[in-house]
Structure 1
C-alpha cells in the first residue's frame, strides 16, 4: 500500500493533469477540494504545508490548468543566470560577467543546436 507522501503526489498530479483535458471549472474545483481535504485530514506537517502553498498559489495554478502554459522555461533560465552570476562573482569587469551569462543561456550552449 502506498505511503501518504506518494498519495499526496498522486492527488497533486491528478489536479495538475487537468491542464491537458479542457476540464470545466466544476471539475477543477472538485479536484482542488479533494486535494485540500485529503491534505487537511493527513496528520503530516509537510503535507499540510504543501496544501497551504497550493492554496496560496491557487490563482497561478488555476491559470496553468486553464491555459496549459507555465513560466517554467523562464524560471529555468533565471536559475541558470543566477548560478552563472554566482560562479562569475569576482569578475572585475561587469561586461565580462554579463557576456558569460549570455553565453551560457543561449541555445547552443545548452545543447539544443548541434554543429557538425
Structure 2
C-alpha cells in the first residue's frame, strides 16, 4: 500500500515534499517488516529511483516503446526461418504498423 501511495503522487502533480514523505514511509515500512521480499523491493526501487522519480514528476513512461519492442521480437520470432530475409523484415513492419492501416471492406 505504501508503494501505491508513492506512485499515486504522479496523479497529483509529483510535488517534491509529498514524494519524499511517501518514499520515507515506504522505506520505513519495508525495513520494519523484516521480510526479505520487501527489502528486495525497496532495493529495486532505490536502484531505479531516477526513472521512478522521472515518472512521478512527469507522469510519462516508456511503455509504448517497450510494447513496440515486444511486438518486433514476437514478429521476428514468428517469421524466423523465412528463406528470404526481406520477407522477415516485411512481417515485422506489418506487425508494427497494424494500427495505422485502414480496414478494407470486402
Class of the TM-score when normalised by the shorter of the 2 chains = 0.7 to 0.9
Q: Which residue of 2 aligns with 1:21?
A: 12
Q: How big is the alpha-carbon RMSD for the aligned residues of Structure 1 and Structure 2?
A: 2.1
Q: Please say if residues 11 and 35 of structure 1, whose CA atoms lie closer than 8 Å, have aligned partners that are also in contact.
A: yes
- 1:60-113 alpha-carbon deviations (Å, 9 max, x no partner): 11011111111111111111211222222222222111111111122438xx96
Q: Please say if residues 64 and 70 of structure 1, whose CA atoms lie closer than 8 Å, have aligned partners that are also in contact.
A: yes
Bigger Rg, which one: 2
Q: Please say if residues 14 and 58 of structure 2, whose CA atoms lie closer than 8 Å, have aligned partners that are also in contact.
A: no
Q: 1:92 aligns with which of 83, 98, 103?
A: 83
Q: Which residue of 2 aligns with 1:35?
A: 26
For the residue of structure 2 that corresponds to 1:90, the secondary structure is coil
Q: Calculate the TM-score normalised by the size of structure 2.
A: 0.84
Unaligned runs of 5+ in 1: 1-9
2-structure distance, mates of 1:113, 1:13: 39
Aligned residues: 105
Structure 1 runs (4+) deviating above 6 angstroms are none
Q: Please say if residues 71 and 96 of structure 2, whose CA atoms lie closer than 8 Å, have aligned partners that are also in contact.
A: yes
Which structure is higher in RCO with an 8 Å CA cutoff and minimum separation 6?
A: 2
